[in-house]
Structure 1
Amino acid sequence: MDISQFIGGNGVTIFLAAFVLLSVYLAVRIVPQSEKHVVERFGRLRAVLGPGINFIVPFLDRVAHKVSILERQLPNAEQDAITKDNVLVKVETSVFYRILEPEKTVYRIRDVDGAIATTVAGIVRAGIGEMDLDEVQSNRQQLIDQIKAQVAYAVEDWGIEVTRAEILDVNLDQATRDAMLQQLNAERARRAQVTEAEGKKRAIELKADADLYAAQKSAEARRVSAEAEAYATGVVAKAIADNGLEAAQYQVALKQVEALAAVAVGEGNQTIVMPASAIEAFGDAFKLLKGRGT
C-alpha cells in the first residue's frame, strides 16, 4: 500500500472525527440555572434555552444572547416632582426587576435599565402631582403600590417583572422646611392653648357640679329637718287633740320641775332667787304633777 494513500485515508478519518466532535460540541449547550439563552437561526429567533442540557443544530443555530434571569436592582434615582399644593420635592426611588421572557427583552428594548428608570420617573411625577405634600408624607405605601402597579403594566411587553419598587426618601428644599417648621410650631402652640382652655373649662364645670351637689345636699338636710320638726309638731298637736289642754300643761309643768331639779343639784349650799311669778308657775306645776300622780 502506498504511504500517501495511507496518510490520505487516515487524514479523512481524522477530519471526520474532528468534524463529529466539533458538531457535538456545537450541538450541546449547557445553560446555568441563573440564565436563559436565546438561539437564532439565520438571524431569526429559533428557541430559548432554559437551565440544563439543551441541543441545537450545529452550524445553523447559534446562541445569540445569554440573558441573566437573576433579580436586578436599578441604581437609586432622584427626580424632582411638584405636589398638588405646589411644593417642590425630590424623590429618591429604587426599583427591582427580573427578566422572565428574554426573547421579548432582547428584541423589543435596547437599554432595559434606562427604559425602566425613565418610566419610573414619569410615574412618580404623575403620582405625586395628584397628592398634597401631607398625603405624600403619610401615604407613602399607597404611592409605592401605585408606582409598582403602573411600572409593571408599562414593562409587560418587555418580558420583565417588577418585583419591588421603593421610595427611599422625600426631600424638601430649605425654604419649604423652614415654612413647615414654623407651621408645626404654630400648630403645637395652638394645641397647647386649646388644651389649657379645655382644662380651665373642665375645672369650672367640676366646681359648678360640686357647688350644685353641696346645695342639693344642704336642701335635702333642711328638708329632712323640717320634716322632723313637722312630725314632732304633729305628734304634740295630736296629743293635745287627744288629751286636751291639760296634757300640754302637764308636759310644761314636768319640764319646769326637771329644770328646777337640775339647778338645785350642785356642790355646797346654793341659794336660788326666783321671782314670784316663777314660784306661782312652779306651784301650778306641782299641783298638776300631784294630780297626775293620784
Structure 2
Amino acid sequence: MSAEELLSEFLGQNVFYLVLAIFIIVCIMAGVRIVPQSEKYVVERLGRLRSVLGPGINFIVPFLDRVRHKVSVLERQLPAMTQDAITSDNVLVQVETSVFYRIIEPEKTVYRIRDVDAAISTTVAGIVRSEIGRMELDQVQANRANLIDAVRNQVAQQVDDWGIEVTRAEILDVNLDAATRSAMLQQLNAERARRAQVTEAEGSKRAVELQADADLYAAKQEAEARRVLADAEAYATQVVAVAIAENGLEAAQYQVALKQVEALQKLGAGAGNQTVVLPANALDAFADAFQMLKGRG
C-alpha cells in the first residue's frame, strides 16, 4: 500500500470521528434545556404536547422534542381599563379597573386561549357591568371593597380553565357624567344647608333651655332666701312672744323703748345734720327707757 493510500485512509477515519463528535455535541446541545426561574417551557413531540419544563436543567429527546413556547410565570398587570356601567337606579358611571394575574399552567394558557390579556379584559368588563347593575349609586360608592371582592372572585372562576391565577383586581375610580355630578353637588349643598339650620336651631333651643334653668335656679334661691328670712322673723316674733308671756307687758314696752332710742341715735348721727327734730313725746320715751333700764339693773 502506497503512502498516498495510507494518508487517504487516515484522513477518512479522522473525518468520520470528527463528524461523529460534532453529531454527539449537537445532540447534547439539542437535548439539554436550561430553564430560567421566571419561565416555563412547553415541549411538543411531533406537534403534540409532550411536557412542561420547570426551572433548572431539563433533558428532551433531540430532533423529536421541541420547545414550542416559552411562558413567563411572573405576575402581570393588565393596562387600566375603563368601561361604562348602569346602576340599578339608572345612573351611568365609568369604572376604571386593573387586574393582576400570573400563569400557573402554561399548557392550558397556550392551547386554550389565543390572547389571554384581551380575554381577561373582556371578562372583567362583563363582570363589572353585571355587579354594578345590581347596586345603587350610593352602594357603589360606599361598598367599593365588596365590589372588588366580587369582581376578583368571579374573574378567578372564569379564567380557571386558562391556567391563570388572578392575584388582584382593583377598582381604581368610579366617575359620573357631568349632569349626575351637578345634581349630586346640589344635593350635597342642600344637605349641608339643612344640617347648618338644624345645628343653629338646636343651639337656640339649648340656649333657651339653659336660660330657663338659670331663671328657675334664681327663683328657687330667692324663694329659699325668703323662706329663711320668714323663719328668722317668725323666730324673733316667737322669742318676743315668749318674753312677753314670761315678763308681761313690761318686756314689750322695754323693747319698744329701745327701738325708739336707737332710731333717735341714728337720726342724730347723720353727716351734716345740725338740727334734730324730736317728736313731742321723745323725752318721755327717753325717760321711760331710762326707768326700765334702771329697774332691770
Confirm or deny a common fold (TM above 0.5). Answer: yes
Please name the residue that 2:144 is paired with: 140
CA distance in 2, matches of 1:97, 1:46: 26
Q: In structure 1, how many angstroms separate the alpha carbons of the residues matched to 2:274 and 2:86?
A: 112
SS in 2 for 1:169: strand
Alignment partners' CA distance in 2, 1:117 and 1:70: 18
Instruction: State the alpha-carbon separation in 1 of the partners of residues 54 and 238 from structure 2.
Output: 114
* AA matched with 1:48: V
Identity of aligned residues (%): 73
Letter in 1 for 2:99: V
Q: Which amino acid aligns with 2:137?
A: L
Contact 2:152 2:166 in 1 (8 A): yes
5+ residue gaps, structure 2? none
CA pair 72-274 structure 1, distance change in 2 beyond 3 A: closer
1:57 deviates by 1.5
Asked if 1 retains the 8 angstrom alpha-carbon contact of 2:73 and 2:103, the reply is: yes
3-state DSSP class of the match of 1:94?
strand
Partner of 1:54: 58
Contact conserved, 1:85 with 1:133, CA < 8 A, in 2?
yes
CA distance in 2, matches of 1:265, 1:91: 98
Retained in 2: the 8 A contact 1:30–1:53?
Answer: yes
SS in 2 for 1:38: strand
Residue type of the partner of 1:110? R
1:229 aligns with 2:233: yes
Instruction: Give 1:105-116 correspondences, 5 Å limit.
Output: 105-116=109-120
Query: In the alignment, is residue 274 of structure 1 matched against residue 279 of structure 2?
Result: yes
Work out which of the residue numbers 114, 129, 135 in structure 1 matches 2:133.
129
* TM-score with structure 2 setting the length: 0.89
Give the match's secondary structure for 2:100: strand
Q: What is the CA distance between 1:78 and its match in structure 2?
A: 1.0
The CA distance in 1 between the partners of 2:266 and 2:27, in whole Å, is 145
What secondary structure, in the 3-state scheme, does the structure 2 residue paired with 1:162 have? strand
Which residue matches 2:251?
247
CA distance in 2, matches of 1:270, 1:189: 75
SS at 2:296 equivalent: helix
User: For residue 103 of structure 1, what is the aligned residue in structure 2?
Assistant: 107
Structure 2 equivalent of residue 34 of structure 1: 38
The aligned counterpart of 2:19 is 15
Q: Quick check: 1:254–1:289 contact (8 Å CA) kept in 2?
A: no
Q: Deviations over 1:38-88 (max 9, x none)?
A: 112233322211122211111221111100112111122111101121100
Task: Return the alpha-carbon distance in structure 2 between the equivalents of residues 103 and 268 of structure 1.
Answer: 127
Letter in 1 for 2:178: Q
Question: How much does 1:258 deviate?
Answer: 4.3
Q: CA RMSD in A?
A: 2.4
Distance, in Å, in 1 between the alignment partners of 2:278 and 2:78 is 122
**Cα offset for 1:262?**
5.7
CA contact (8 A) 2:75 2:100 kept: yes
Q: Report the Cα offset of residue 223 of structure 1.
A: 1.2
C-alpha displacement at 1:91, in angstroms?
0.8
* Contact 1:253/1:289 (8 A) holds in 2: no
- Shift of residue 246 of structure 1? 2.1
2-structure distance, mates of 1:89, 1:239: 98
Instruction: Tell me the TM-score normalised to structure 1 length.
Output: 0.89
Aligned 8 A contact 1:253 1:286 in 2: no
Unaligned runs of 5+ in 1: none
Aligned position for 1:69: 73
Rate the CA distance shift 1:271–1:110 in 2: closer, same or farther, 3 A.
closer
What residue in structure 2 maps to residue 84 of structure 1?
88
8 A contact 2:261–2:285 mirrored in 1: no
Instruction: Specify the code of the residue in structure 1 equivalent to 2:238.
Output: G
